[in-house]
Amino acid sequence: MSLAEISHVIEQLGIESKAGVFLIESSQLEYVPFDLAGALVITGIKKDKTSLERILEGLNLRFEAHTSFQLVGIRETNQLIGPKHIKLCQLLSIGRTYLAEESEKGDTAVRWLLIKGATDVVEASNHHDVSNFTLQPLIDVVAALRAPNGCPWDRLQTHSTLRRYLLEEVYEVLEAIDNKDIVNLREELGDVLLQIVFHARLAEEQGLFSVQDIIDDISAKMIRRHPHVFTQANAQEVATTQLNWEALKAQEPGHQQKTVLAGVSKGLPALLGAQKLQEKAAKVGFDWDSEPPVWAKFEEEIAEFKEAIAQGDYENAELEGGDVLFSLINLLRWYKIGGENALNRTNNKFRRRFAYVERCVKDSGRSWADFSLDELDSFWDSAKVSEQKHSLK
């Protein structure tokens, strides 16, 4: 379903879209952000009980039973059917009946959406006025750390020496998001902000730029790239502008790349770099036109890796192993799954489960060497059951 069609529905229903619209296929509901504030549009809604049960199961992990949704159909002529207002808990009853009744009218080309409006953001009484904040306290702290009588360690730092800390803090933010830990997310975002202010201080000391320059530059960039917001464009223009994001970006100084892949930093983590390279190549048409050959390529690379191992050619096996990973990233990309995020989630899952196994070993009063692999595996299985009871992914 195109962005233009979705924009048309949003406009016709009068749904508030200032906080954004999150569009997702019904089979991918596990990727709905836990902190989603904007409108949610779910495509691929079907009337059969099994499909609706699967959708309900996915949404129950994210929303309360009495959360309001709208069932909306789109005919080939772009005319809307509905909306039918239901609670999430009514999806299998009222919702299913409504879909069945509309289907009996004989219009088989209808595409159905399930829509949740944007969340009302209520300012907590103990929060500061978000429209009147200042970075000055943090700027002053960093300036004091860098002063002649400040911290010896901080005075020795450079952009290069701080590189690893910025990367580490970003990953800790991602971990807090994956764990749905709002308290820790607040802290980790502060750590990232510290890194940004620290880098700005180093640049200011050299007379290069300041924190205010960073804020001014990114503000101007966002305004340039969102003319549909700052020029009050209509819904059709919103869709067009979103599709032309790369074109808008390419017009800016410093973004006129000499080659297609020039904009992909070599300093990116390998998995993320692979995805960015593939995305750049795909934008100029260097991509498969359907899923089957993507799967076939992945299987081909696994076979070549196995062959290299069988021949004892471990130097070539390393190259073939890289090809396996690269083709897997490409396969994940086809399903709109970020390889870096996926592996981070698996790493965090492994940490949680292994910590459970470690506690079991410690509580037993025995050493690791006293346990067989089967016994350790039983602890691991118990960790999985424990996670499922708490609805953890």
Q: pLDDT category, 392, cuts 50, 70, 90?
A: very low
Strands annotated E in the chain: 21-25, 39-45, 68-74, 80-87, 111-116
Asked if the model's pLDDT at residue 266 lies above 50, the reply is yes
59 and 84 co-located in one domain = yes
With respect to residue 385, please indicate whether it lies within any of the assigned structural domains.
yes
- In this prediction the pTM is 0.49
Structure tokens given for 374: 């089967």
**Res 344 pLDDT > 70:** yes
297 and 210, same structural domain? no
Residue 311 lies in a domain: yes
Judgement on whether residues 204 and 218 belong to the same structural domain of the protein: yes
Judge contact between 331 and 274, C-beta under 8 A: no
- pLDDT band, residue 18 (cuts 50/70/90): low
Indicate whether 54 pLDDT > 90: no
Domain identity same for 45 and 25: yes
Determine the structural domain holding residue 383 and report its residue range.
Answer: 340-389
pLDDT value of residue 177? 82
Task: State which of 116, 146, 174 marks the end of a domain.
Answer: 116
pLDDT digits (tens, 9 = 90+) for 220-259: 888 887 777 776 555 555 555 555 555 666 666 655 567 8
pLDDT greater than 80 at residue 332? yes
How sure is the predictor about 1, in pLDDT bands with cuts at 50, 70 and 90? low
**286 and 189, same structural domain?**
no
* C-alpha dihedral (306, 310, 313, 314), degrees to nearest 10: 60
pLDDT of residue 11: 77
- In a domain, residue 130? The reply is no
**Domain final residue, candidates 56, 88, 116:** 116
Q: What is the pLDDT of residue 163?
A: 86
CB 144 within 8 A of CB 150: yes
Strand 80-87 and strand 39-45: the pairing is unpaired
Of all residues in the chain, the percent with pLDDT exceeding 70 is 84
Asked if 324 and 354 sit in the same domain, the reply is no
**Average pLDDT of the chain?**
82
Q: How confident is the model at residue 298 (pLDDT cuts 50, 70, 90)?
A: very high
Q: What is the pLDDT of residue 297?
A: 95
pLDDT of 123 reads: 42
Q: Which of 50, 48, 46 is closest to 25 using CA atoms?
A: 46
Shared-domain flag, residues 350 and 316: no
Single out the residue in 222, 246, 280 at which a domain terminates.
222
pLDDT tier at 60, thresholds 50, 70, 90: confident
Same domain? 310 vs 352: no
Give pLDDT tens digits for 185-198: 899 999 999 999 99
Query: Taking the chain, what is the end-to-end CA distance rounded to the nearest angstrom?
Result: 28
